[in-house]
Amino acid sequence: MFDFKGAIFDLDGTLIDSMGVWEKIDKEFLKKRNIDIPCDYIEKISSMSFEKVAQYTINRFNLKESEEELIKEWNRMAIYEYSNNISLKQNVREYLKKLNDNNIKIALSTSSPRILYESVLKNNRIYEYFDVLVSLEDVKRDKNYPDIYLLAAEKLNLNPQDCVGFEDILIGINTLKKAEFKTVGVYDKYADSEIDDIKEISDKFIYSFKEIM
């Protein structure tokens, strides 16, 4: 592929098959409030922190609950799935082991909160491969800005130019590129509407980690 010293991975849609779970949660959450899920909702919120998603959801649907109440409800709905049912994408564990065996440092940079990412990494037996774990809880801005990726690189003691960022959404790839990271676009069906643009700007695009084993 290309030489690099550090690999920085998004979680949802990149390492794990979780976007379907979030579609289910979003539908159930809005259905309880007699709201049909808009076709652009999941795409709009995909790069946001939980706090920003809550704020956006309250404003878009004129909800009366607080941000804290929405986040608590979403976490309650998601914790069981992340702890028990969400699986890795094909060959993820094998690829992480390959990186580890070749002394490549590994970081996670996810929109999901610690309560969810720790559960799913441990349940799928890949937690120990990560040298650094950061989420949007650790920075002030979402993935439209490079803060989370730069923090991951800093914690790995590496420059962005020495790292590869793995992302499944266009916003993530764009942000990584602007911050001078190498990029690998990872296919996820929930980003089908963006796939041509992702392929065009990524340094490499993969449908499966098997392709880079």
How far does the chain reach from its first CA to its final CA, in angstroms?
Answer: 10
**Per-residue pLDDT, 200:** 97
Query: Tens of pLDDT along 111-145?
Result: 999 999 999 999 999 999 999 999 999 999 999 99
**Per-residue pLDDT, 43:** 83
Distance CA 106, CA 123 (A): 18
Contact (CB, 8 A) for 42 and 26: yes
Query: Tens of pLDDT along 175-208?
Result: 999 999 999 999 999 899 999 999 999 999 999 9
- 103 burial level (CB within 10 Å; 0-12, 13-18, 19+): exposed
**Model pTM?**
0.91
Half-sphere exposure at residue 83, Cβ-oriented, CA atoms within 13 angstroms: 8
